[in-house]
């Protein structure tokens, strides 16, 4: 594993990844990738929980690619050159960084592969004799391994907390939401990282997207960034300012994205929050318990996991007054009690 990448060494791919994390966008809307080296491509494949040197994983990737191309040919009049249709994952990723029709084909294939792999991984999870708590333990082992390594190497993390939302907290959260469906709770498993300073935020996020979670599995629409303005911050950093004109998608996207609607959070509360569908590579002994039909689905499952990243100064500020967690919980519980007693009459417009 590498050291933290200094902002002066940031590349376009690094900034693109952080932007999608903070904005909560989708790679399906992208039209290119920006890898510069084979080392970057290998790291991107590995963070998906695929080993680029493992024949089984390569066969699995080829199967996903073939299904993707088959789907595109069944439903769209989209010519795919034979060299692209037969390209390996590494070759497809290289093509996405080029130009022309083959680059367009590679991007289209990879976007479809992204969806197919995700759906098949969910199907695999449903076939396994495994509980949520067991999946959460797998996620914790993976996260603790990466964060533990960062702490051991003296990275600028002053606090790290992981935890599972307890049942009472789940009850309260769902009672406070209009969408009282368990599937709407994204933070059943959550991790909180406090960096030494604001300058450490981007390097830490860059490391996490390289070694812990792939930026392409950020859950769209579930990111909140009230900590710093992406564009203003990039303007203050010479290297990032130089990269900004080459970012794909319009520069006003951040202005169009609302923070997640949480009426119990104080306006002064500052944080970066995002949800990842974290890929987990299953151990052979667990896969052996799956039915035979699961064999074609690979060995990767996903678990939605929330991360909060904040710098120490902002974290200390959040513990003062209305922004404190105690004040937040008080407002939430008060609203739940009113809702339980009065229903729609609990709305300020109906009082």
Give me the sign of the Cα torsion angle 65, 68, 72, 74.
positive
User: What would the pLDDT profile of 13-47 be if each residue is shown by its tens digit?
Assistant: 999 999 999 999 999 999 999 999 999 999 999 99
Which residues touch 85 (CB under 8 Å, ≥6 apart)?
69
Share of the chain above pLDDT 90, in %: 71
More confident residue, 207 or 269: 207
Residue 8 has pLDDT above 60, yes or no: yes
User: What would the pLDDT profile of 319-333 be if each residue is shown by its tens digit?
Assistant: 766 666 666 666 666
Cβ(289)–Cβ(316) below 8 Å: no
More confident residue, 250 or 54: 54
Cβ(256)–Cβ(292) below 8 Å: no
Q: What is the pLDDT of residue 351?
A: 43
On the CB side of 106, CA atoms within 13 Å amount to: 22
pLDDT averaged over the chain?
A: 87
CA gap 75, 68 in Å, rounded: 11
CA gap 198, 100 in Å, rounded: 39
Burial 166-194 (b: 16+ CB within 10 A, else e): eeebeebbeebeeeeeeeebbbbbbbbbb
Residue 269 has pLDDT above 80, yes or no: no
Cβ(314)–Cβ(273) below 8 Å: no
pTM (2 decimals)? 0.85
Closest of 344, 297, 342, 230 to residue 67, by C-alpha: 297
Share of the chain above pLDDT 70, in %: 80
């Amino acid at each position: 594993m590498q050291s933290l990448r200094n902002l002066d060494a940031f590349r376009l791919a690094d900034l693109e990844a952080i932007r999608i994390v903070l904005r909560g966008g989708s790679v399906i809307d992208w039209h290119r990738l920006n890898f510069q080296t084979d080392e970057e491509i290998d790291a991107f494949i590995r963070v998906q929980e695929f080993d680029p040197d493992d024949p089984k994983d390569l066969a699995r990737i080829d199967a996903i690619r073939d299904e993707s191309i088959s789907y595109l040919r069944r439903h769209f009049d989209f010519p795919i050159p034979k060299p692209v249709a037969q390209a390996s994952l590494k070759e497809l990723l290289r093509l996405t960084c080029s130009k022309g029709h083959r680059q367009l084909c590679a991007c289209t294939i990879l976007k479809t592969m992204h969806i197919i792999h995700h759906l098949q991984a969910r199907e695999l999870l449903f076939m396994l004799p495994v509980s949520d708590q067991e999946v959460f333990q797998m996620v914790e082992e993976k996260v603790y391994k990466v964060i533990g390594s960062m702490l051991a190497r003296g990275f600028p993390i002053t606090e790290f907390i992981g935890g599972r939302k307890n049942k009472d907290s789940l009850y309260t959260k769902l009672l406070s939401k209009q969408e009282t469906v368990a599937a709407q709770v994204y933070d059943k498993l959550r991790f909180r990282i406090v960096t030494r300073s604001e300058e450490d935020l981007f390097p830490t996020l860059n490391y996490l997207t390289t070694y812990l979670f792939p930026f392409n599995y950020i859950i769209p629409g579930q990111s909140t960034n009230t900590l710093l303005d992406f564009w203003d911050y990039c303007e203050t950093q010479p290297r990032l300012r130089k990269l900004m004109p080459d970012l794909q998608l319009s520069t006003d996207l951040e202005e169009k994205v609302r923070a997640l609607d949480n009426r119990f959070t104080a306006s002064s509360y500052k944080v970066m929050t995002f949800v990842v569908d974290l890929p987990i590579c299953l151990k052979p002994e667990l896969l052996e318990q799956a039915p035979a039909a699961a064999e074609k689905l690979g060995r990767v499952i996903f678990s939605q996991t929330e991360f909060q990243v904040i710098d120490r100064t902002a974290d200390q500020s959040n513990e003062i007054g209305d922004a404190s967690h105690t004040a937040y919980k008080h407002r939430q519980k008060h609203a739940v009690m009113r809702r339980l007693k009065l229903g729609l009459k609990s709305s300020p417009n109906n009082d």
